Structure 1
Amino acid sequence: MDETKYETAMQIIMHAGNAKSAALMAIDAAAEGNFEEAEAQLKEADAEMQQAHHVQFDLTQAEACGESVEVNIILVHAEDHLAMAIMAGDFARRFIALYKSMAE
């Protein structure tokens, strides 16, 4: 994997990790009844996820244009981070709704 592709995978890891962390902080805030903070953290998670998806899309587009994307453990690790971040965001939305329902 050349240096550019290595950095691309690391960008996905970074943004996905940030998204997952923000989603988990949103759940924590909602558990404490701080729904304004929960929504702010969820917004941050969405922004980071958008960045991760943008980087992933560039790889997908390159592959579609005939540029072979080398699959190795770093890229697999990056995709794993992205999948877990997506799940964390989905769960955060459900937990926030549940905590709001319980608070009412």
Structure 2
Amino acid sequence: MDITETAFMLILNAGNARNNAKEAEQFASDYEFEQAEEAIKKAKDDLNQAHQIQTDLIQSEARGENQQFGLIMVHAQDHLSMAMMAIDHANSMIKLYQKLYQLEKER
């Protein structure tokens, strides 16, 4: 796989992770916590795939293999960072909605 294909695989997996994290937030906002946890698990699985691609690239460079990184790879790295932030945010929102749900039940 060439570097452009690798970048697009990174974008694909990171994008899927971000979308699943957003889906988890939506489930949590509807108090559907089991579905939220399933979506966040999918997000983490997708993120792990994206992270593995990044790790392979780093190891390749560490071995001295010359990689020509262009704007597409920079874009892919942005997607990976955003996916990581989306998952962190979704986890926080799930906890917040769980607390809100408990408070509403206690009323």
- Name the TM tier (shorter chain): over 0.9
How many residues of Structure 1 are paired with residues of Structure 2 in the alignment? 102
- Structure 1 runs, 4 residues or longer, greater than 6 Å off: none
TM-score (norm 2): 0.93
Cα distance in 1, alignment partners of residues 93 and 79 from structure 2: 21
Structure 2 unpaired stretches of 5+: 103-107
Residue by residue over 1:25-71, the C-alpha shift from the partner in whole angstroms, topping out at 9 and shown as x without a partner, is: 00000000000000000000000000000111110000000012222
| Cα distance in structure 1, aligned partners of 2:71 and 2:26 | 32
Q: Matches of 1:8 and 1:31 in 2, distance apart?
A: 35
The correspondence for 2:82, drawn from 62, 81, 84, is 84
Query: What is the identity, as a one-letter code, of the residue corresponding to 2:9?
Result: Q
Q: State the SS of the aligned residue for 1:33.
A: coil
1:8 matched residue in structure 2: 6
Q: Describe how 1:59-98 pairs up with structure 2 within 5 A.
A: 59-98=57-96
> How far apart in 2 are the matches of 1:103 and 1:68?
53
> Higher Cα Rg: structure 1 or 2?
2
Q: Which residue of 2 aligns with 1:19?
A: 17
Structure 1 segments unaligned to the other structure (5+ residues): none
**Identity %, equivalent residues:** 43
Distance 1:67 1:86 in 2: 27
- Match of residue 98 from structure 2: 100
Q: Hey, what does 1:28 align to over in structure 2?
A: 26
